[in-house]
Amino acid sequence: MIKTGIVGGTGYTGVELLRLLATHPQVDVTQITSRSEAGRSVSELYGSLRGHFDIAFSEPDPQALAECDLVFFATPNGTAMKMTPDLLAAGVRVIDLAADFRLQDTALWEQWYGMPHACPDVLAEAVYGLPELNREKIRNARIVANPGCYPTAAALGYLPLVEQGLIATDNLIADCKSGVSGAGRGASTAMLMGEVGESFKAYAVPGHRHMPEIRQTLSWVSKTPVGLTFTPHLVPMIRGIHATLYATLVDDAGDLQALYETRYADEPFVDVLPAGSHPETRSVRGVNHCRIALHRPQGGNTLVILSVIDNLTKGAAGQAVQNMNLMFGLDERCGLEQVALLP
């Protein structure tokens, strides 16, 4: 059993992690910390967990965490980077579900996150936890940066084309849509149901932190800097991300459907739909899958790739569990074989 601690267990990423770990056969969650809810039982805050967890939230205690095999951070940005160096020194492995280790370029990180990075050396060591790209590195990583939700959906949608050099990468357009749980569980007016229900809008069009992250991933693969317009939108639903990705073909591409099917044939969590499909976010509700469909409208040079994930699962906690499975030599699917909740 993997002795596991969770720092910051009260947000949506935290409760999703608890949902998945509750039925994971190889994990023993020994600590769930929360400054604000310390002392309160986990199942009191989340009625859905009654009968699954008997423990209470606790104050974060570095010594107790140091006894874990693995610590997940489901905290706001800026927390994990302060605690990770000591945990690594104590031999604990770390998966950060926040953004502290996602951008390898420290200056770029500091520009987008607006604070100095607490441990650039650890950042340099961190592995970007997208198994479909970095599986082998993840197995041996001490510190894994769990990808952002939009970047997961966008990267998986673009990867086969960029790997094969089939599209122009100077002017990609990623028009992405997310359910409201992506904004977290903090008290706010902006995310009240009275504000976001029955309405749709774009946000952060001038610049969103996931833009440089998507660019970084695609640039690694294309080996050249990538140009990207990224437009996030808010959908009046709780879970799900839909990435509508546009690209211009630069080469006569052959059978693109076959390219995608081959690229992802051995991936347990990427499902290429039959030609002509339109994936729905509900088809991945609560599961770790990404479903992708590829279109070439009217046979033109513009490709439209549709990629859906559950932002809390493949876009956060599910991918973190997948990374944990890799790090600890388990079957990658272990604990992640739920069926999507539909309807």
Which of 1, 124, 202, 250 lies at the binding interface for a copy of itself (CB under 8 A)?
A: 202
Tell me: does residue 198 bind a copy of itself (CB under 8 A). yes
Examine residue 343 and say whether the peptide bond preceding it is cis (omega within 30 degrees of 0): yes
CA 248 – CA 171 distance, rounded (Å)? 8
- Exposed, middle or buried by CB within 10 Å (0-12, 13-18, 19+), for 327? buried
Instruction: Name the residues annotated as catalytic.
Output: 149
User: What is the smallest separation between the CB atom of 3 and a copy of itself, expressed in angstroms?
Assistant: 21
| Of 50, 46, 10, residue with least CA distance to 185 | 10
Binding to a copy of itself by residue 40, rule CB under 8 A?
Answer: no
Binder among 47, 63, 89, 252 for a copy of itself (CB under 8 A): 47
b/e map 132-169, b = 16+ CB within 10 Å? bbbeeebeebbbbbbbbbbbbbbbbbbbbbbeeebbeb
In the complex with a copy of itself, the residue whose CB is nearer, 46 or 220, is 46
Give the containing element (helix H, strand E) for 253.
none
Which residue, among 73, 249, 233, has the nearest Cα to 153 in the 3D structure?
233
Q: Which of residues 125-184 bind a copy of itself (CB under 8 A)?
A: 171, 173, 175, 177, 179-181, 183
- Residue 124 in the binding site for a copy of itself (CB under 8 A): no
What three-state secondary structure class fits 239?
coil
Measured distance CA(190)–CA(113) in Å, rounded: 21
Q: Does 54 bind a copy of itself (CB under 8 A)?
A: no
> How many other C-beta atoms can be found within 10 angstroms of the C-beta atom of residue 198?
7
Which one, 141 or 161, has the nearer CB to a copy of itself? 161
Contacts with a copy of itself in 270-309 (CB under 8 A)? 271, 273, 276, 278-287, 291, 295, 297-298, 300, 302, 304, 306, 308
If binding is defined by CB under 8 A, does position 254 make contact with a copy of itself?
no
Q: Does 199 bind a copy of itself (CB under 8 A)?
A: yes
- Selected from 3, 22, 110, 133, the binder of a copy of itself by CB under 8 A is 22
Binding flags for a copy of itself, 76-115, as an x/- string (CB under 8 A): ----------------------------------------
DSSP three-state, residue 134:
helix
Q: Which of residues 211-240 bind a copy of itself (CB under 8 A)?
A: 227, 229-231, 233, 235-240
